[in-house]
């Protein structure tokens, strides 16, 4: 193969004459040597065959590559000069023949953005193609495998390519050996009769992981490539059904991965015939049955991953025959029985994870001492008994131990200090005793970062007894959880020495005294749980100075490293509801269920990065500070069960992320704020406040909370009298209005073709969607302070008049959720009113909360939302009116509109729309994400075809196709869409320059 750096120009050279000069006093031996070398050089030069300076690139291949480059862009463009030999181009390799055919194209990690042009299949001599780790999108060209019949190595991994794999139109074998299509958006089935896999006789490595392939996994591939196959990776797709027999025929198969799919049924015994397997992985499926004893035939196995399935029965008795095993991951299944004694023979074991099963037996009887390389041991959430196994102290390589949620008894012994590498230790939810003694011992574990001893209720002790004051202990500790351990005393002062502490849980104990002010010296602390204790005193002002909850700079400096073992919300879940990084935990302060008193300090508004604040069931008094509205990231606020008075600050409506709120059982009064998230909270959030009023409590705010009720019996008679008078007056008034209406109707004439501006508003047409009942003038439209029309007040009646009772003549658009009407107000200003159809799956309060959040979005590429109205089940959105009409109007309704929108204009519109969406997703607070994806059936406008923009339109279409991928995890972020659109037309702009 000829490379660009291996060309040497020899032909056409004029060799200079070799002049041999006799020295004045040469020795005979030197003269003979010089003569011999000179003659030898002449002979060599004469014998060299004439050679061209380069092997000229095949013209067809040159043109095909050049056309391919037109579909690609990059931050650092390719140096493919059309006037030079393509064999000299970056990433291009040619053969050494006179034909100069291109045999390799290798451009990985080049930030290439675009599609694979059809011309790619013209490179019929291509043997190696590597375009991995770029930003390519779209489908593979038609005839990809049929045309590239010399292809041996194909690597298109880590792109955004989609569609089905092109089929073959021949049954002749193809020479491909390595295929890597991983981390793309490919879909369809691989088991089709015309799949390229059926003729890939020499295939040795196939990786299609992290795509959207469906159907059955093709086991027949091992009948075709049985002698050469070494790797098969089908993981992270949508494959379903049973694993069919056949994979055992791959006698040289070393890696088989098919995890994170929807596979069901039993693991076929046929697989255990593939005795060369080193890595066997089928996690996160729906596999059932027992793990066959035949698994011990895989004597070369190093990794066995079968976690998160529905496997039952016992761990194979002779699993110790897998002497090369390094990782055994069988967690989250239905396995029963004890640990098989033969497991001690797996002396190379590094990771052993059996958590969340039904395993049992006396753990202290198992001899761990032979597992000297064991680094991670997770036996949590089982039914093991006995004491903490002393044989574990011999496993000096241990970094992480979890024995949580078992029935372990006894104490932690000083021998644990032999585990010098120990970083993670969780023995929560067991029956350990002497927790305070364990703390004193564990202070000597200098590398310990996570210590979880919570929920050991058999223990009792005093946290700060004066014997736990090692100033050098726990210097690397980040997580300390001692909740529900029957600990007493005060918050221990030795905690002040743990400068690295980020998470502290002392909940559900019997801790007394006040909350120490020195907690603010813990510069990394962002999660504090002191709830359900006997703490007293006031909320310490020092706590409002926690830097991790008030300073963005400190938050950025927090340790972002991964935990040795995840911390779970639900331990039975293998893929989510778990925290692998401490930085993912929600910043929180839990002080509920204590005896704290005094007022809530206004300085609490400094903790603007706090997500959870729980002060419930204490004795706090005074008003709810308005400064709480500064906690813009707050998701949960619980102030229930206190003695708070005054009103609920209306400014709390600005907490757009607030999903849980309670002020129940206080002494609050006045109206409950409406709008924002407050329209989503149930009445249980406000009960127990007899002077609170509002719709959610079905309690009118008419009257004063200070009304004297001692004279209620005397006033009852007066109330009855007033009610009687009101009823009489209403009856008389109603009779008079009815007679008057009959008289008006008798005088009224129906004038055909009358001016629609004179339509009376005493009835509303069925088409309008409004019920006839209700006082329309009293129903105000909610207008946001940011509305640009400077409209102060607007009623339903005015809105109906402005739209001519939602007359069809005023329809200016039709969206996915309803019609859009033009509204011309009395002062001549205009609004666009969208009348939503259906209930959109939202309660009224959810609708209001989401709309008010949407009103915060202000961007030059977004139509401004001016207000909204919910009236009688009908929902209206008010937008600024765009005088030039909608894009749909210009493209499909305006007679000459489409012809006036050339491609550069349309591309600019697409870029603007992308910027607007990116603002909503990433910059606007709160972030706003679209709930649905639209689709457009008409793709290419005939008016634009043949105008030189077809390639650019294809690129935009490919971006659109990626956005509506069936797999939501494969869709690009809006920022990626914006970046893609920026690159479209870049060549055109460069040419202009």
Q: Are 745 and 760 in contact (CB under 8 A)?
A: no
Closest CA to 380 of 398, 401, 365: 401
Measured CA distances, 104 to 94, 101, 576, 933 (Å):
7, 9, 42, 40
Q: What is the DSSP letter of 519?
A: G
CB neighbours of 150 closer than 8 A, spacing ≥ 6?
Answer: 103, 124, 125, 126, 127, 175
Other beta carbons less than 10 A from residue 169's beta carbon: 10
Positive or negative, the CA dihedral 708, 713, 714, 718 is positive
Residue 619 backbone class (left: φ over 0; alpha: ψ -120 to 50; beta: rest): alpha
Other beta carbons less than 10 A from residue 373's beta carbon: 16
CB neighbours of 407 closer than 8 A, spacing ≥ 6?
Answer: 383, 384, 385, 430, 431
Measured CA distances, 873 to 679, 764, 822 (Å):
16, 14, 21
Positive or negative, the CA dihedral 56, 61, 67, 68 is negative
Strand ranges (DSSP E) for 354-407? 358-362, 376-378, 383-385, 400-402
Residue ranges in 360-465 assigned as alpha helix (H): 435-442
Q: CA-to-CA distance for 19 and 17, rounded, in angstroms? A: 6
Q: Which two tokens stand for residue 300?
A: 């070369």
- Biggest distance spanned by C-alpha atoms of the chain: 148
Q: What does residue 316 show for φ and ψ, rounded to 5 degrees? A: -50, 135
Burial classification of residue 843, based on how many CB atoms lie within 10 Å of its CB (0-12 exposed, 13-18 middle, 19 or more buried)? exposed
Q: CA-to-CA distance for 470 and 494, rounded, in angstroms? A: 7
Closest CA to 887 of 866, 855, 904, 910: 910
Q: CA-to-CA distance for 749 and 755, rounded, in angstroms? A: 14
Query: Given the DSSP bridges, would you call strands 351-353 and 128-130 parallel, antiparallel or unpaired?
Result: unpaired
* Residue 367 three-state SS: coil
Q: CA-to-CA distance for 239 and 308, rounded, in angstroms? A: 16
835 is in an annotated binding site: yes
Q: Are 681 and 661 in contact (CB under 8 A)?
A: yes
Q: What is the DSSP letter of 869?
A: E
Q: Which two tokens stand for residue 537?
A: 């005193």
Q: CA-to-CA distance for 700 and 735, rounded, in angstroms? A: 29
Other beta carbons less than 10 A from residue 200's beta carbon: 23
Q: CA-to-CA distance for 237 and 587, rounded, in angstroms? A: 35
CB neighbours of 860 closer than 8 A, spacing ≥ 6?
Answer: 916
Q: CA-to-CA distance for 415 and 387, rounded, in angstroms? A: 14
* Residue 504 three-state SS: strand
Q: Which residues are annotated as a binding site for ATP?
A: 835
Q: Which residues are annotated as a binding site?
A: 835
């Amino acid at each position: 193969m000829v490379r660009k750096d291996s060309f040497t120009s020899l032909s056409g050279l004029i060799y200079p004459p070799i002049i041999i000069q006799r020295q004045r006093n040469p020795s005979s031996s030197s003269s003979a040597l010089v003569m011999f070398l000179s003659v030898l050089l002449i002979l060599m030069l004469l014998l060299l065959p004439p050679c061209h300076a380069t092997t000229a690139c095949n013209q067809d291949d040159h043109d095909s590559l050049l056309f391919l480059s037109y579909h690609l862009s990059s931050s650092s463009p390719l140096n493919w000069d059309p006037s030079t030999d393509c064999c000299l181009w970056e990433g291009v390799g040619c053969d050494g023949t006179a034909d100069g055919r291109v045999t390799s194209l290798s451009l990985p990690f080049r930030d290439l953005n675009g599609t694979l042009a059809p011309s790619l299949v013209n490179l019929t001599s291509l043997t190696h193609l590597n375009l991995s780790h770029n930003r390519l999108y779209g489908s593979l060209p038609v005839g990809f495998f049929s045309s590239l019949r010399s292809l041996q190595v194909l690597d298109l991994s880590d792109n955004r390519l989609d569609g089905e794999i092109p089929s073959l139109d021949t049954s002749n074998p193809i020479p491909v050996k390595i295929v890597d299509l991983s981390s793309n958006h490919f879909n369809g089935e691989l088991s089709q009769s015309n799949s390229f896999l059926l003729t890939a006789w020499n295939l040795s490595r196939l990786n299609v992981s992290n795509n959207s392939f469906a159907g059955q996994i093709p086991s027949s591939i091992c009948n075709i490539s049985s002698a050469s196959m070494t790797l098969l990776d089908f993981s992270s797709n949508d494959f379903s059904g049973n694993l069919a027999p056949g994979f055992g025929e791959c006698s040289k198969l070393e890696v088989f991965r098919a995890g994170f799919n929807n596979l069901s049924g039993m693991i076929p015994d046929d697989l255990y015939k593939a005795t060369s397997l080193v890595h066997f992985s089928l996690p996160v499926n729906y596999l059932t049955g027992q793990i066959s004893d035949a698994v011990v035939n895989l004597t070369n196995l190093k990794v066995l991953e079968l976690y998160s399935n529905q496997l039952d029965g016992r761990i194979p008795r002779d699993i110790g025959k897998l002497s090369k095993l390094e990782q055994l991951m069988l967690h989250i299944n239905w396995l029963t029985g004890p640990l098989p004694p033969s497991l001690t023979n797996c002396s190379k074991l590094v990771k052993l994870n059996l958590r969340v099963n039904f395993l049992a037996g006396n753990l202290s009887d198992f001899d761990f001492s032979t597992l000297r390389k064991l680094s991670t041991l997770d036996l949590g959430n089982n039914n093991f008994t006995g004491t903490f196994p002393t044989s574990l102290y011999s496993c000096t390589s241990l970094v992480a131990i979890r024995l949580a949620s078992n029935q372990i008894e006894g104490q932690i012994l000083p021998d644990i200090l032999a585990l010098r590498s120990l970083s993670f230790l969780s023995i929560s939810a067991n029956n350990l005793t002497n927790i305070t003694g364990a703390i004193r011992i564990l202070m000597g574990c200098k590398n310990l970062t996570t210590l979880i001893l919570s929920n050991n209720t058999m223990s009792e002790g005093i946290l700060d007894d004066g014997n736990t004051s090692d100033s050098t202990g726990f210097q690397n500790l980040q997580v300390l959880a001692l909740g529900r351990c029957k600990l007493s005393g005060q918050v221990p002062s030795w905690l002040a020495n743990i400068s690295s502490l980020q998470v502290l849980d002392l909940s559900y104990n019997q801790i007394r005294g006040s909350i120490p002010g020195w907690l603010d010296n813990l510069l990394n602390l962002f999660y504090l749980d002191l709830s359900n204790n006997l703490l007293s005193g006031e909320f310490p002002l020092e706590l409002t100075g926690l830097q991790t909850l008030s300073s963005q700079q400190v938050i950025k400096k927090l340790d972002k490293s991964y935990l040795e073992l995840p911390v779970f919300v639900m331990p039975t879940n293998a893929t989510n509801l778990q925290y692998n990084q401490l930085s993912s935990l929600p910043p929180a302060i839990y002080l509920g269920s204590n005896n704290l008193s005094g007022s809530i300090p206004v300085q609490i508004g400094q903790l603007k990065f706090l997500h959870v604040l729980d002060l419930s069931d204490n004795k706090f008094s005074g008003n709810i500070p308005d400064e709480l509205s500064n906690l813009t990231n707050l998701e949960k606020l619980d102030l229930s069960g206190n003695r708070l008075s005054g009103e609920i600050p209306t400014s709390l409506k600005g907490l757009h992320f607030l999903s849980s709120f309670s002020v129940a059982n206080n002494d609050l009064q006045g109206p409950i704020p409406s709008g924002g998230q407050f329209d989503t909270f149930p009445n249980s959030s406000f009960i127990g406040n007899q002077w609170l009023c509002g719709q959610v409590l079905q309690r009118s705010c008419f009257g004063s909370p200070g009304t004297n009720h001692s004279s209620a019996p005397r006033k009852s008679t007066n109330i009855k009298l007033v009610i009687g008078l009101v009823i009489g007056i209403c009856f008389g008034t109603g009779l008079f209005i009815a007679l008057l209406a009959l008289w008006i109707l008798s005088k009224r004439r129906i004038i055909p073709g009358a001016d629609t501006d004179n339509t009376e508003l005493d009835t509303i047409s069925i088409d309008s969607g409004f019920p006839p009942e209700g006082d329309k003038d009293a129903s105000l439209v909610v207008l946001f302070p940011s509305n640009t029309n400077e409209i102060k007040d607007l009623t339903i009646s005015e809105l109906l008049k402005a739209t001519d009772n939602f007359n069809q003549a005023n329809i200016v658009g039709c969206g996915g959720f309803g019609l859009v009407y033009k509204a011309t107000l009395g002062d001549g200003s205009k609004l666009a009113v969208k009348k939503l159809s259906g209930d959109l799956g939202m309660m009224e309060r959810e609708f209001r909360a989401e709309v008010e959040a949407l009103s915060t979005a202000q961007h030059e590429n977004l139509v401004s939302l001016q207000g909204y109205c919910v009236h009688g089940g009908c929902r209206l959105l008010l937008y600024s009116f765009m005088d030039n009409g909608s894009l749909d109007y210009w493209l499909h309704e305006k007679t000459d509109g489409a012809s006036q929108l050339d491609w550069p204009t349309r591309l600019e519109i697409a870029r603007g729309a992308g910027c607007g969406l990116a603002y909503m997703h990433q910059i606007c607070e709160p972030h706003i994400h679209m709930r649905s994806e639209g689709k457009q059936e008409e793709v290419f406008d005939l008016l634009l075809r043949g105008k030189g923009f077809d390639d650019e339109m294809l690129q935009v279409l490919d971006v659109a196709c990626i956005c509506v991928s069936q797999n939501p995890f494969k869709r690009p972020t809006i920022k990626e869409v914006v970046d893609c659109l920026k690159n479209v037309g870049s060549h055109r702009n460069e040419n202009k320059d």
